[in-house]
Structure 1
Amino acid sequence: MKYYQLLLIAMLFNSCQYFDKQVPSEKELLQKELKSINWNEVDEYPSFVDCNKMDSKTERQQCFFQYLTTLIQEKIMVDTLSIMYPELDTIQVLVTVFPNSKLKFEPQFPKDSVAYDTIKIDSILHARLIDFPKVNPAIKRGIPVKTQFVLPVIIKVE
C-alpha cells in the first residue's frame, strides 16, 4: 500500500510539468504562418471555363495561357499592326487578372524603342483587347487574388 502511495505522489509531481507548457502567442503563430506561405505562387491559376475541365493544375495553367494567347492574337490579327510595323513580330503584353475577374493589358516595350510609335500601338491594343470571356481569378488560400504575367504575343504568323 505504501508503494502505491509513493507511486501516486510521484505521478502527481511529474504530471504537473504537463500543465506548465507555454502557449505560443498570437503574434508568434501569425509570424510562423506568414513565413510558411509562398507569396510568389498561387494555389490555383486564373482560368477560363473551358480550362476548368482539365484534371491537373499544370494542364489548367497551360490551357489558360494558350487560350488567352490565341484570343489576343486573333483580336490583333484583324488590325494593321503587322503592316504598319513590319519589323515588329512579337509584343510582350503584361496581363493583369484582378480578383473581380477583370482583365487589364499593357504592352511592354523596350526602353529604347524608337523604331515604332508605342503610344499608337498601345491605343490599338487597348481598342482591340476587349470583350473577353469570363476569367476565374487566381486563388491563394481560398481567396481570389490579383495576378500578373507577361505573355509574348506573336503578330507575324508565317
Structure 2
Amino acid sequence: MRQLLLFIVVLLFNSCQYFEKQVPSEKELLQKELKSINWKEVDEFPSVVDCEKIADKKLREQCFFEKMAQLIQEKLDIDSLSILYPELDTIEVKVTVFPNATMQFEPQFPKDSVAYDTIKIDSILHARLVDFPKVNPAIKRGIPVKTQFILPVIIKAKDAK
C-alpha cells in the first residue's frame, strides 16, 4: 500500500509539467485583442438629449439622424439657398462628431458641381450651421470616439412653405 501511495505522489509531481500551459506575452495578447475589434462600428452612436431616453439602439440611432437632419434643415430654411440655387434641392453634409462633443460640417458636392458656386454655398453653410444642442459623442469600448457620417439635407423652397 505504501508503495502505491509513493507511486501516486511521484506520478503527481511528474505530471504537473503536462498541465502547464504557455502563457502568451502582453504584446501577443494586445495584438490578438486589436485584431478582434471591429473598428468600423461603434458600441453607441452619437446622441442628443431628445434621443437619450430611447432604449433600443437602432431606434436611438435613427432618432439621432432624424434630429440632426431636422436641425440642419431648420437652420438652412431661414437662408436664401433655395432662392439663389432653385435647382439645388438636396445637399449632402458630412457631419463629424469629435470625442470632445464638438461638431464640424462639410458640404459634399458632386464632382461635376460647376452649376453652382460651391464656395458661396460652403460659406453659407458654415455661417448657418452653428449653435447646435449638445451632442454626446459615439462610444467605443467605453471611450468617446470621433465619428463621421453623411446626412442628406433637403432644402425647401421658400414658396413651398
Shorter-chain TM range is: over 0.9
**Which structure 1 segments of 5+ residues have no match?**
none
Q: CA RMSD in A?
A: 1.1
Cross-structure match for 2:13: 12
Which residue matches 1:55?
Answer: 55
* 3-state SS in 2 of match to 1:69: helix
SS at match of 2:52: helix
Give the CA deviation at 1:18.
2.3
Amino acid in the other structure paired with 1:60? R
Give the ranges of 4+ consecutive aligned residues of structure 1 lying more than 2 Å apart after TM superposition.
16-19
SS in structure 2 of the partner of residue 53 of structure 1: coil
CA distance in 2, matches of 1:42, 1:16: 43
Task: Quote the Cα distance in structure 1 between the aligned partners of 2:100 and 2:17.
Answer: 54
TM-score (structure 2 length as normaliser):
0.94
Letter in 2 for 1:131: D
**Corresponding residue number in structure 2 for 1:87:** 87
Counterparts of 1:4 and 1:102, CA distance in 2: 72
Give, in angstroms, the shift of residue 15 of structure 1. 1.8
Tell me whether 1:43 sits opposite 2:49 in the alignment.
no
Length-normalised TM-score, structure 1: 0.95
Q: Which amino acid aligns with 2:5?
A: Y
Q: Which residue of 2 aligns with 1:131?
A: 131
Identify the residue that residue 25 of structure 1 maps to in structure 2: 25
Per-residue CA deviations over 1:54-89 (Å, capped at 9, x if unaligned) read 011111111100000000001101111111111111
Say if 2:125 is the partner of 1:147.
Answer: no
Distance 2:73 2:137 in 1: 21
Separation in 1, partners of 2:99, 2:14: 56
Q: What whole-Å deviation, never above 9, does each CA across 1:73-123 have from its counterpart, x for those lacking one?
A: 011011111111111110000000011111100000011111000011001
Q: Distance in 1 between matches of 2:17 and 2:104?
A: 61
Equivalent position of 1:67 in the other structure? 67
Distance 1:15 1:99 in 2: 50
CA distance in 1, matches of 2:49, 2:70: 15
Identity over the aligned pairs, expressed in percent?
A: 69
Q: Which whole-Å CA distance do the structure 2 matches of 1:88 and 1:128 have between them?
A: 17
**Which whole-Å CA distance do the structure 1 matches of 2:7 and 2:98 have between them?**
68
Deviation at 1:16, TM superposition (A): 2.7
